[in-house]
C-alpha cells in the first residue's frame, strides 16, 4: 500500500509505503514531464538507497533534502497507516 505524503507546486507527488517486512520504507517521487511523460525516483529509508529515472543531479539533491528533512515523519506515518491515520485527523 502506498500513502500520499506531499504534492509540490510543480505537481510532483511524493508517496510512501507501509513499513516493509525488512523494516524499510519506500518513498516514491514522480514529476510529470512533457517530453518524457514522467520522471521518478525511489528512495528506501532508513538507508537512503535510491533508484533515479530522468531527474538531474540538482533535482535529486533537492528531493533528497526534502526526504531527509521529513524522514522521521514518513517513518512514523508508515507505521500508522499513512498521514490521515497516524496524525489523528
Average pLDDT estimate for 66-87: 85
pTM over 0.85: yes
Q: Residue 80 corresponds to which cell in the numbers above?
A: 500508522
Distances 6 to 22, 36, 73, 83 between C-alpha atoms, Å: 24, 22, 12, 10
DSSP class per residue in the chain:
-EEEEEE-TT--EEEEEPPPTTS-EEEEEEEEETTTEEEEEEEEETTTEEEEES--HHHHHHHHHHHHHHHHHHHHHHHTTSHHHHS--
Using one digit for the tens of pLDDT, what is the confidence trace for 16-62?
A: 999 999 999 999 999 999 888 999 999 999 999 999 999 999 999 99
Given a cut of 70, is residue 89 above it in pLDDT?
no
Q: Where are the domains of the chain?
A: 2-82
Amino acid at each position: 500500500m502506498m500513502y500520499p505524503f506531499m504534492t509540490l507546486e510543480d505537481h510532483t507527488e511524493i508517496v510512501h509505503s507501509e513499513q516493509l517486512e525488512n523494516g524499510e520504507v519506500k518513498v516514491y517521487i514522480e514529476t510529470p514531464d512533457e517530453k518524457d511523460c514522467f520522471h521518478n525516483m525511489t528512495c528506501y529509508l532508513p538507508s537512503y538507497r535510491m533508484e533515479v529515472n530522468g531527474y538531474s543531479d540538482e533535482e535529486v539533491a533537492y528531493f533528497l533534502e526534502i526526504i531527509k528533512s521529513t524522514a522521521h515523519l514518513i517513518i512514523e506515518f508508515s507505521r500508522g497507516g499513512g498521514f490521515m491515520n497516524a496524525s489523528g485527523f
